Structure 1
Amino acid sequence: MRRLIPTSLRARLALLFGIGTSAVLLLALSLLYVALDHQLDAAVDQDLAARSDDLVASVRTHDLGAVHGDPMAQLYAADGTPVATSAAIRDRVLLAPEQVRTVHGRTFTDGSLPPREPGTPMPVRLLSRPVGGTGQVLTVALPLSAIDRAGTRQFVVLAVATPVLIIALAALGWRLLRAALRPVDVLTREAAAISSLDSDRRLPAVPGDDEIARLAATLSGMLSRLSVAFDRERAFVDDASHELRTPIAVLRGEIDLALAAVDDPAEVRESLLAAQGQVVRLGRLAEDLLLLARERAGTLVVLRGPVDLTGLAQSEATILSKIKNITIETYGDPAPVEADTDRLRQVLGNLAANSAGAGATTARVTVTTDRGHVQLQWADDGPGFPPALLESAFERFVRGDAARSATGGAGLGLSIVRAIVTGHDGTVELRNGPPLGGAVITVRLPAAP
């Protein structure tokens, strides 16, 4: 059965269109034939009724010549005996006596006129009616052969016209479908020709504002977004490779020095300590990349528990001030949140490292509560973010200083801040300006119930 169904959408639509059109056309032509046939029957009955009215009026005036001159009429006495007959049917009767006696009102019937010679009786349409109160019955008739021929001609015309119309409509539907789906074929070929190497290639625009035009515009927009994502991932791989290459090169050099100075314990110790620092840096970079990868995949683990964000900021400020050599001021009332304490410490540490790396000497942390959210604002007196980085500061490996060094950061601090805050169902924003004139980073977290 499936082999009989075409695989092409155009062919399936054309098939459905042909079947539906054929069904509707057959139904419409059938109704037309029935209506025409009914109209012919109604015309016959109207003709019989008009002739009957004229003949009844003549019979009531005792003018039987009108009956003799009618094409096919007969007047019967009350016992069924013919009183007057049309010249065209003399010596023949339209109704038998028992049929005459059953006529009590205007009655339309189908009958037959006996032939004069052996042959087939002529089918006729009869109208019988009483004439006054004398018991007489007048019957007028009309041959049905002409009506049957007209009906046959109608049927032949409709039978010939139906397949012609079906074929014409199917061909028209096929052409319309080809014209409507031609842009889809073009889009399909272009999409099949686009590869990852054609990152700047786009689908052709389809004129108009119909569904196919909107589909083409949507697919082109999707390709643009995929191109941007592809460029970002490629840049991420390049930056990660660059960041990993430097400590690995240093680590290899230090190991080589240690092996060359195996007889000098002091030199070996110094080389091993330097190598240890590079291993720590590699481990930290790997952990940061793993955190970002988990956040991107939606698998970042956040162990929530009650935390006073103000108290945590105050305790971390004391530690970070000594480590980062920056003065950190904290303000705010107790602000409980459901969060991961270690992750929040990582956020505060990265914010402090970002301010210290930018040359700030003072940072101010302000914690406030507003409408079911706890807001932590980190502001410093550094130079702030360069205007070109305000939109991309949270991206991975983005740094204000394009130069890379072995001691510089990898540019993942703010990316990790955003990942952790997002994992807590919060938001983070940044700007430059008051209260200290430098960078201002605002973190909003849901308040604890």
Structure 2
Amino acid sequence: MNSSRLGIRTRITGGSLLIAILISVIAGIVIYTQVERLVNESQARILEGIAGQYVTAITTGDTEELDMPGHGQLVLVVDSSGAIAVDTFPADLAAQTPDLVARRDGTRTVEAGSAEFLVRSTSVDAADGTWHVITASDSDTNVLDEVAWLLIVSIAVINIAFGASSWLIGSAALGPVSQLRRSAAALVASPSTETLPVGAARDEISELAETLNTLIAELRASAERERQIVSDASHEIRTPLAIIQTRLELAQREARSLDDMKVDVAAAQRTLARLSSLAASLLELSRIDAQHSSGSATVGALVAELAEAADRGRLRVADRNILIDYTDDISSPSAVVAVSEEDFGRVCDNLVGNAVHAIRDRGSVQLRLAEEQGAVILTVTDDGGGMNEDFVPLALDRFSRQSEARTGGGAGLGLPIVAGIAANAGGLVELRNDPGVGLCVSVRLPTRQPHGNTLTPG
């Protein structure tokens, strides 16, 4: 039988009962052995006491008329010539007299017929030679049998009681677990904001309930975020789709000339480009959320990617009076960051794009990659006027936009993408806002040495 298919209570009871049976059997064997030893020693002492009077008489030479033993006492006395002086042995045992005399002194068990006897032999030196005093008694097997049965019954009763107790204790111990399961089933059946009950006792069950409550809270928050993303994405997609449809209908029905039609189609294309950008951002966010491995790159590779990001930004503003420059202060290019070069480039592009949208026609964007103990910090600073102070706490939320001035009509996903990539790499994003002047975004990424296995937070 596969024990994993059994219930926890059954496994606890069965395991405890097996251990109890093993211990009780060992204890029973030890007890029986000790009882057997005590019985044999007691019988040996009795036989020694019975033989004592004859040993004394033979030693003192008073052997002319030896006293007969008491009722039920089995005694055999053989003189130095081999004659029987005293004999109360049963016939089957008396028949073994030559063998008993020939054996060494001591106590042993002898079978005679269907009976078993405990026999003690004693040699006594006298003036006329060596006498032999042999005493015997029925082996006390009945007593030992009774002890054996008593032990068996006692062990059986104790183990049955122990098994029942284990079952009850297991039931009591698993009671809170069953309650927890019922509460969880109730939560699944009727979605609500409630959580699992946590018992007053600070034990493993309450810790399990707290851990499950944390998981439930995270799952609810994740589900809420998904619902919100779907809602926001639906809203964002619906608007450009409506615009595209309207523009195309105008081009089809109301355009009076080819130029009018081109204007409407161009407007529809711009809206379609915005929709395509939104879809790409949503896919990027989905990839970041589902990403199990954040990638890896050396700090030296990030420096090269930073330069390329600056070049891409310059191409973007080639027709505007905007200066985009970069600097780096790196002394350990071989250090490793848990972010891929592609993702780091996407971070730079999003931050440069936001800064360029904020600046509009004239200004500057400064990119800098610096090294601190256990981390590299990317800072992107612009002079685009900064943000509204009330919006700063919401800037990293998805689909959050303060105005056209900062987002350039985007969907409000640029900074959330940056925050998601940084979080996957074990880093964080900070905003330093100077209203009326500009904004500085810092992305802190922990580093490790190439031979290390873990990131070292700064």
- 2:41 matched to which residue of 1? 42
The alpha carbon displacement at 1:230 in A equals 1.0
Q: Does 1:177 align with 2:138?
A: no
Amino acid at match of 1:22: I
Q: Name 1:62's counterpart in structure 2.
A: 61
Q: Partner of 1:52 in structure 2?
A: 51
User: Which residue of 127, 132, 135 maps to 1:137?
Assistant: 132
How is 1:120-269 mapped onto 2 (pairs within 5 angstroms)? 123-133=116-126, 134-144=129-139, 147-195=140-188, 198=191, 200-269=193-262
Change in Cα spacing, 1:315 to 1:210, as seen in structure 2 (3 Å) is: same
What TM-score results when the alignment is normalised by the length of structure 1?
Answer: 0.79
Aligned partner of 2:74 in structure 1 is 72
The yes-or-no answer on 1:315 pairing with 2:311 is yes
Distance (whole Å) between structure 1 residues aligned to residue 197 and residue 408 of structure 2:
48
1:320 positional shift: 4.8
Change (3 A) 1:270 1:289: same
Tell me by how many angstroms 1:76 deviates. Answer: 1.1
Indicate whether 1:350 and 2:350 are aligned: yes
- CA displacement at 1:130 relative to structure 2: 0.9
- CA distance 1:196–1:315, change in 2 (3 Å): farther
Unaligned regions of 5+ residues in structure 1, if any?
A: 113-119
In the TM superposition, what is the alpha-carbon distance from 1:178 to its structure 2 partner?
Answer: 0.7
Q: Which amino acid aligns with 2:287?
A: R
Indicate the residue corresponding to 2:454 in structure 1: none
Q: What is residue 115 of structure 1 aligned with on the other side?
A: none
Q: CA deviation at 1:421?
A: 6.0
Q: How far 1:248 moved relative to its partner?
A: 1.3
Q: Do 2:309 and 2:349's aligned partners in 1 also have CA atoms closer than 8 Å?
A: no
| C-alpha spacing 1:19/1:393, structure 2 compared with 1 (3 Å) | same
**In 2, Cα distance between the equivalents of 1:27 and 1:342?**
69
Q: Is the 8 A contact 1:328 1:364 kept in 2?
A: yes
The residue that corresponds to 1:414 in the other structure is 415
**1: CA distance, partners of 2:348 / 2:256:** 45
Q: Relative to 1, partners in 2 of residues 1:375 and 1:97: Cα closer, same or farther, differing over 3 Å?
A: closer
- Secondary structure in 1 aligned to 2:23? helix
Partner of 1:289: 282
Structure 2 counterpart of 1:398: 400
- Secondary structure at the aligned position of 1:439 is classed as strand
Amino acid at match of 1:130: S
SS class of match (2:48): helix
Please point out which of 370, 385, 389 is paired with 1:368: 370
Tell me if the contact between 2:358 and 2:405 (Cα under 8 Å) persists in the aligned partners.
Answer: no
Q: TM-score, normalised by structure 2?
A: 0.77
Distance in structure 2 (CA, Å) of the matches to 1:103 and 1:448:
86
User: Which protein, 1 or 2, shows the higher relative CO under an 8 Å CA cutoff with sep ≥ 6?
Assistant: 2
Q: 1:415 to 1:66 in 2, by over 3 A?
A: farther
Q: Which moved more, 1:10-19 or 1:125-134?
A: 10-19
Bigger drift between 178-187 and 335-344 goes to 335-344
Post-superposition offset of 1:404: 12
Alpha-carbon distance change, 95 to 130 in structure 1, aligned in 2, over 3 angstroms: farther
CA shift, 1:261, in A, is 0.7
1:238 shift after superposition: 1.1
CA drift at 1:237: 0.8
Does the 8 A contact of 2:359 with 2:382 survive in 1?
A: no
Comparing 271-280 and 99-108, the one that deviates more: 99-108
2:269 match: 276
- Mapped to 2, the partners of 1:447 and 1:100 lie a distance apart of 90
After TM superposition, give the deviation of residue 57 of structure 1 in Å: 2.3
Change (3 A) 1:215 1:388: farther
**How far does residue 137 in structure 1 lie from its aligned partner after superposition?**
0.7
Whether the 8 Å contact between 1:82 and 1:93 is mirrored in structure 2 is: no
- Displacement of 1:179 in angstroms is 0.8
Following the alignment from structure 1 to structure 2, what is the Cα–Cα distance between the partners of residues 234 and 90?
Answer: 101
Match of 2:367, SS state, is strand
Deviations 1:245-301 (A, max 9, x none): 111122222222223314344433322221111101001111111222223333999
Moved more, 236-245 or 13-22: 13-22
In structure 1, distance between residues paired with 2:178 and 2:327: 64
Runs ≥4 residues deviating over 6 A: 88-93, 299-307, 333-343, 403-407, 445-449
Give RMSD over aligned pairs. 4.3
Q: Which residue of 2 aligns with 1:439?
A: 440
Q: Could you tell me how far 1:82 is from its partner in structure 2?
A: 1.5
Q: Would the aligned equivalents of 1:6 and 1:12 in 2 still touch at CA under 8 Å?
A: no
Which amino acid in 1 is paired with 2:171?
A: R
Question: 1:447 & 1:74 partners in 2: Cα distance?
Answer: 96
Matches of residues 318-337 of structure 1 in structure 2 within 5 Å? 318-320=314-316, 328-332=324-328
Q: Call closer, same or farther: CA 1:196–1:92 in 2, change over 3 Å.
A: closer
Letter in 1 for 2:304: D
**Structure 1: distance between partners of 2:422 and 2:247:** 38
Amino acid at match of 2:169: L
- Cα distance in 1 between the residues matched to 2:295 and 2:99: 103
The answer (yes or no) to whether the contact 1:255–1:271 under 8 Å persists in 2 is yes
Give the Cα–Cα distance (whole angstroms) in 1 for the partners of residues 390 and 134 of structure 2: 108
Is the 1:394–1:415 Cα contact (8 Å) retained in structure 2? yes
